[in-house]
A and B are shown apart, each in its own frame.
Chain A
Amino acid sequence: MSGKRKPDLKVIIMGDYAVGKTSLVCRYIEDKFIKHEPTIGAAFFLKQWGPYNVAVWDTAGDERYTGLSHFYCRNAGAAILAYDMSNPQTFESLWARFMPLLNSSTEKCLKIVVGTKMDLIPPEERDITLEEGRKLAHELNEGLDISKLACEPYFETSSKDGSHVSEVFECIFQYCLPLSGDQRSKFGLSTSTVDLYEKEPKRATAKKGCC
């Protein structure tokens, strides 16, 4: 095991008990939505991002593991702070409980605030507004140049229907380990930008084949 290559990026997911951290990772890595037992201590996932290895650490939300979270945060390049959109208290604890923990991660740790369980709550009943979420996300990243970031450091997701889940991770990976358009297509990742110099749109080549 000593021969195992060190991951190029460590991403840690934190947040209160039962906000759906493991579901979020599972939806991204395995594209499945299944019931999970409470995480013990922490769980660990490896994800290929182009030529890079990304280690995703899913921490336990239970308060008795708070001591460990601090330790698992070390050297994290990015942190996902998850809260349950249907439970405003979990939003509070991001501020109160998890922000101090992040001091031990690398100085330039990117913090992304992610609301989960969007499918559970109708837009008119929300307690936390989009603006509040964005405000917190910007406060957390104070002193960090986030102009490079392709999008707001705030997402609202649903692991159940999969909405915005991969955007969260790809946004982080692209910020921390930027890949050029060429690399992205080489490794079979979707390209969000339109490449004007691409020789021929793929659709056109497909059409040719039909006659």
Chain B
Amino acid sequence: MSMKAFELVPAIERAKLIADKIKTQIECLDVCGKNLYIGTADCFVFHYCIEERNIGGRTTFYSEKQGQKYLGLKKAIVQIKAASALNRIMVLCDNTFTLLNMFDLEPVYSGAKIKGVNYFCLNENPANPNPFSIEICVALKKKQLQVFTILEDKIIHNKDLSIPEPATIIGVDEKHVCAALTTQYCIIEIDTGNIQDLFPFDTEYVNPVVKKVTKDEFLLSGPSALGMFVTSAGISQRPPMQWSDNLVSVSCVHPYIVAMNDEFITIHSILDQQQKQAIPFQGGVFMNDFDGKLFIASSREIYSLVPVAFEKQIQALLADKRVTEALELAENAHSTGMTKDKFMKMYRRIQQQAGFIEFTQQHFEEARDLFIKGQVDVREIICLYPKMMPTGSNFTRSSPALHEIPDITVLTKNNETLTAEYIYFLQSYLEEIRNTKLSIGLKQEIDVALLKLYAENNSPELIPLLISETSCDLADCVECLERYQRHHALALLHKHHSENDRALAIWSKLVNGELTDNSFPGFKFVIEFLANLNNHELVWKYIDWALEKDEELGVQILTERPVNEPPSERLRPDAVIDYLHRFPLAVINYLEYLVFQKKLEKEKYHTHLAVLYLDKVLNLLKNSSVRKEEIDMARSKLRHMLQISSLYRVQLILGKTKETDMHAECAILYGKLEEHDKALRILVHKLKDYGAAENYCLVNSQGREPAYRKRLFHILLSVYLDSSYERKDTLVAPAMSLLNSNVADFDTVKVLQLLPDSWSVSLLSQFLTRAMRKSMHTSRMTRVERMMARGENLSIKQECIELQQEPVIMTEDRNCAVCNRPYSEPTFIRYPNGVVTHVHCAKNKYICPVTGKLFRTQKSNPS
């Protein structure tokens, strides 16, 4: 137990006392300001002046004798107490309570005294405080307590309190007396005299002690050397303390309870009731606290127990690795009157020190908490790990040092598992604080250390660290990443520092297999990077390599450009197409990108793409071993292109397709040329795809007036019914289904003219009924519309008439309602509420400029 809460310092030494009188034996003493009074066993009162001096952190006492007085009774002076307010000292000798002058030690003139007194006690906290009197309570030899008010020369008796047994020792606080009777303790209420028993004790074993510790709380010595806390309500709010036997005296200096027996002074904390310190001290006869100062007397000497500064106590505890106690003590130091800032500074430093102590003991959980709470400078931790600090850092450890660890190798002693634990701690700690306020201004150190840690143990976190907003320094980390062959990470680091060329050099080596790194995501990653790279020179440098590696992926560099990239000369489409000549696949992809994605409307690209598609189809057709699906795919692509675009040179394509039997394509091309008859004939006669023919009509009439659509369907119908076609019988069924189709649209009269006379009415009944109905419907709807329009017309007329009903009389002295000037022109504005203004003064015809009234902007529906 090396905690030091107090130091024993001599106050008045033996030599000084012996010089006065050989036989002098101290019995009691009192300290009041600089005055120290001693009562001796041979009835002397000594008066000393004592001064506390603090030299170089050490407390010493300087004393000078002021006077002495023999009370002439040959009995010991049992109690002595100064009452500075009255300039008196109170003395108990031979069971008699008397008053002496504080300075010359002469008895008071009145000779006031109380006889038959066992013990007296000052009420430091009386119910009716008065600066010119004090209140005491005395325990008489008979079964009675008495309360007195003491004036300079008078003792006024206030109250008697009877008790079941005589009291030996009492304590007083405000309205309560706690008394040790001969066999038990009790609490007596002064006003009512009510007695509450506390607990019994055996005088044979227990030396009764009553000590007021805080307001309304007493400390008593209980059986088996227990220190019992009792409130004035007679209950206990703290667990008892264990003392040793033969207790002599107890004092209290917050937060400590100091107890003295014949061999030791023991110090307990009132907070946890645990013993904190023991000081060997033999032959102690008296101890008490005076305004927070503790004095102890043996029979010949006087000492003071000087509290060791909180900081010193805490440092002693920390040196002893008693972290919890140190922190608890530090927390309580808050109540010692430090300012909040100062306290927090001190407390944080202690937490940091404590953190490092836990750290050395591998209590990582605790260390982590303390580091975070103590807001330790993270560099203090990083610098313990060799080579973890950035090389350029000029960090020096705080002074005075927070710890005595040169670096962790001293702690781990080359034990591998231990080293791993320490490294893991650093990593998890850094990860935890990385985005908190503890990392402000220290991001570089944290990120560099994390990078080195990740690189070393090949952590999957390495890549995310570099992708996110990282503050890794370049020079320092390159070496580390190279050493552990984290090539991809190295490239990312270069990229982060905008050294894209270097990054690409590493990546191209990774793709080529010259380097390997498991974390490298592959070729696609490089393509993506190049596609988003805004340095087009660099793009050109690598595009050749990328295209040779894989044409389709490589061209993505050009096609997946960022949406809002400004156009540049290097990436001008013409130049790119020229360049891509060598790579047929890439050209197609690039043209598709231009035509379909960028929607460039340049005939050249569209024709080029169409020709390329067509060439591809033709090539496939020539080669008989090609699977049919592949041809279909290529053709459908071509058809799609031909259909949606109308910018390519149709004649050119048509010239090429006509020579082959690609009828579907021809049909589309004819459609583009508006040669619908030809197109439909191909669809009907060659392909016999009637659905496609109907669809053709719909597609080609999209976005045109209904008459155009009717015309197209009519052409189709006439193709079906063309009598020159040798197999026209086969086309009756599709013609009928077209007539009855829901999507088709016809001019009924023209259809009837076209239909062969030989067809029966029953065959056409469905078509005719529908045509009739439709015609009827249109006629009726038109009538309805007409009538509604008429109604609307009427109601507007009515409104107009109403508005014009009243005359507006304009005279010369009538002024504009807005500008209040006369009218100079014949035109004016009249609002429906009668306000008349200039034309130019009427800003809004729906809002009256004078009243701000809003007129209906729309006639509401009559319903």
In A55-109, the 8 Å CB interface with B consists of 55, 64-65, 67-68, 70-72, 74-75
A41 near B215: Cβ-Cβ < 8 Å: no
B223 near A68: Cβ-Cβ < 8 Å: yes
List residues of chain A with CB within 8 A of the CB of B270. 1
B226 near A1: Cβ-Cβ < 8 Å: no
A74 → chain B, closest Cβ, in Å? 5
List residues of chain B with CB within 8 A of the CB of A65. 223-224
How far, in angstroms, from A70 to B186 measured CA to CA in the complex?
Answer: 13
Q: Judge whether B444 is part of the interface by a CB distance below 8 angstroms.
A: no
Query: What 6 A-B pairs have minimum CB-CB distances, sorted nearest first?
Result: A41-B240, A71-B199, A44-B239, A41-B226, A67-B200, A67-B199
A42 near B234: Cβ-Cβ < 8 Å: no
Given contacts A68-B199, A74-B235, A75-B235, contact A42 B214 (CB under 8 A): no
Q: Judge whether A130 is part of the interface by a CB distance below 8 angstroms.
A: no
Q: Per-position contact with A for B191-225: 1 when CB-CB < 8 Å, else 0?
A: 00000001111000000000000111100001110
A5 → chain B, closest Cβ, in Å? 11
How far, in angstroms, from A111 to B783 measured CA to CA in the complex?
Answer: 98
Q: Judge whether B228 is part of the interface by a CB distance below 8 angstroms.
A: yes
A40 near B242: Cβ-Cβ < 8 Å: yes
**Contacting residue for B215 out of A2, A64, A71, CB 8 A:** A2
Q: Judge whether B236 is part of the interface by a CB distance below 8 angstroms.
A: yes
List residues of chain A with CB within 8 A of the CB of B242. 40-41
Sample of 5 further A-B pairs with CB below 8 A, known A64-B224, A71-B234: A4-B237, A43-B239, A72-B236, A74-B235, A75-B235
A41 near B239: Cβ-Cβ < 8 Å: yes
Given contacts A42-B240, A70-B199, A71-B198, contact A64 B223 (CB under 8 A): yes
B239 near A67: Cβ-Cβ < 8 Å: no
List residues of chain A with CB within 8 A of the CB of B217. 2
How far, in angstroms, from A2 to B201 measured CA to CA in the complex?
Answer: 27
B216 near A2: Cβ-Cβ < 8 Å: yes
What is the interface of chain B, defined by CB distance below 8 A to chain A?
198-201, 214-217, 222-224, 226, 228, 230, 233-240, 242, 270-271
B562 → chain A, closest Cβ, in Å? 38
List residues of chain B with CB within 8 A of the CB of A70. 199
B228 near A68: Cβ-Cβ < 8 Å: yes
List residues of chain A with CB within 8 A of the CB of B233. 75
How far, in angstroms, from A43 to B228 measured CA to CA in the complex?
Answer: 12
How far, in angstroms, from A41 to B215 measured CA to CA in the complex?
Answer: 23
A1 near B240: Cβ-Cβ < 8 Å: no
List residues of chain B with CB within 8 A of the CB of A64. 223-224
Q: Per-position contact with B for A17-44: 1 when CB-CB < 8 Å, else 0?
A: 0000000000000000000000011111
How far, in angstroms, from A74 to B200 measured CA to CA in the complex?
Answer: 15
Given contacts A70-B199, A71-B198, A74-B234, contact A40 B240 (CB under 8 A): yes
A41 near B222: Cβ-Cβ < 8 Å: yes
List residues of chain A with CB within 8 A of the CB of B216. 2
How far, in angstroms, from A143 to B242 measured CA to CA in the complex?
Answer: 39
List residues of chain B with CB within 8 A of the CB of A10. 235
A44 near B228: Cβ-Cβ < 8 Å: no
B254 → chain A, closest Cβ, in Å? 9
List residues of chain A with CB within 8 A of the CB of B199. 67-68, 70-71
Minimal Cβ-Cβ distance residue in A for B227:
A41
How far, in angstroms, from A72 to B240 measured CA to CA in the complex?
Answer: 11
Minimal Cβ-Cβ distance residue in A for B220:
A71
Query: Among B201, B216, B217, B226, which residue has the most Cβ atoms of chain A within 10 A?
Result: B226
Given contacts A41-B222, A41-B240, contact A67 B215 (CB under 8 A): no
Minimal Cβ-Cβ distance residue in A for B213:
A1
B235 near A40: Cβ-Cβ < 8 Å: no
How far, in angstroms, from A40 to B224 measured CA to CA in the complex?
Answer: 9
List residues of chain A with CB within 8 A of the CB of B214. 1-2
B234 near A68: Cβ-Cβ < 8 Å: no
B237 → chain A, closest Cβ, in Å? 7
List residues of chain A with CB within 8 A of the CB of B228. 41, 68, 71
B226 near A67: Cβ-Cβ < 8 Å: no
A67 near B201: Cβ-Cβ < 8 Å: yes
List residues of chain A with CB within 8 A of the CB of B234. 71, 74
**Contacting residue for B238 out of A40, A44, A67, A75, CB 8 A:** A44
Minimal Cβ-Cβ distance residue in B for A7:
B237
B239 near A68: Cβ-Cβ < 8 Å: no
Minimal Cβ-Cβ distance residue in A for B233:
A75
How far, in angstroms, from A43 to B273 measured CA to CA in the complex?
Answer: 10
B225 → chain A, closest Cβ, in Å? 9
A103 → chain B, closest Cβ, in Å? 12
A68 near B226: Cβ-Cβ < 8 Å: yes
Query: Among B216, B236, B271, which residue has the most Cβ atoms of chain A within 10 A?
Result: B236
List residues of chain A with CB within 8 A of the CB of B239. 41-44
List residues of chain A with CB within 8 A of the CB of B198. 71
**Contacting residue for B222 out of A4, A43, A44, A68, CB 8 A:** A68
B222 → chain A, closest Cβ, in Å? 6
List residues of chain B with CB within 8 A of the CB of A75. 233, 235
How far, in angstroms, from A42 to B222 measured CA to CA in the complex?
Answer: 12
List residues of chain A with CB within 8 A of the CB of B223. 64-65, 67-68
How far, in angstroms, from A1 to B239 measured CA to CA in the complex?
Answer: 13
A21 → chain B, closest Cβ, in Å? 14
How far, in angstroms, from A43 to B242 measured CA to CA in the complex?
Answer: 12
List residues of chain A with CB within 8 A of the CB of B201. 67
How far, in angstroms, from A101 to B239 measured CA to CA in the complex?
Answer: 19
A149 → chain B, closest Cβ, in Å? 25
Q: Show 8 residue pairs from A and B whose CB-CB distance is below 8 angstroms, ordered by the A residue.
A: A40-B240, A40-B242, A41-B228, A55-B237, A70-B199, A71-B199, A71-B235, A71-B236
B184 → chain A, closest Cβ, in Å? 8
List residues of chain B with CB within 8 A of the CB of A4. 237
How far, in angstroms, from A72 to B233 measured CA to CA in the complex?
Answer: 12
B181 → chain A, closest Cβ, in Å? 14
Minimal Cβ-Cβ distance residue in A for B199:
A71
How far, in angstroms, from A65 to B200 measured CA to CA in the complex?
Answer: 10
A77 → chain B, closest Cβ, in Å? 12
B21 → chain A, closest Cβ, in Å? 44
Minimal Cβ-Cβ distance residue in B for A10:
B235
List residues of chain A with CB within 8 A of the CB of B230. 71
List residues of chain A with CB within 8 A of the CB of B237. 4, 6, 55
A40 near B226: Cβ-Cβ < 8 Å: yes
Minimal Cβ-Cβ distance residue in A for B185:
A71
List residues of chain A with CB within 8 A of the CB of B240. 40-42, 68
How far, in angstroms, from A1 to B213 measured CA to CA in the complex?
Answer: 11
Minimal Cβ-Cβ distance residue in B for A41:
B240
List residues of chain B with CB within 8 A of the CB of A72. 236
A66 → chain B, closest Cβ, in Å? 9
Minimal Cβ-Cβ distance residue in B for A45:
B239
B500 → chain A, closest Cβ, in Å? 45
A116 → chain B, closest Cβ, in Å? 22
How far, in angstroms, from A65 to B236 measured CA to CA in the complex?
Answer: 15
How far, in angstroms, from A41 to B224 measured CA to CA in the complex?
Answer: 9
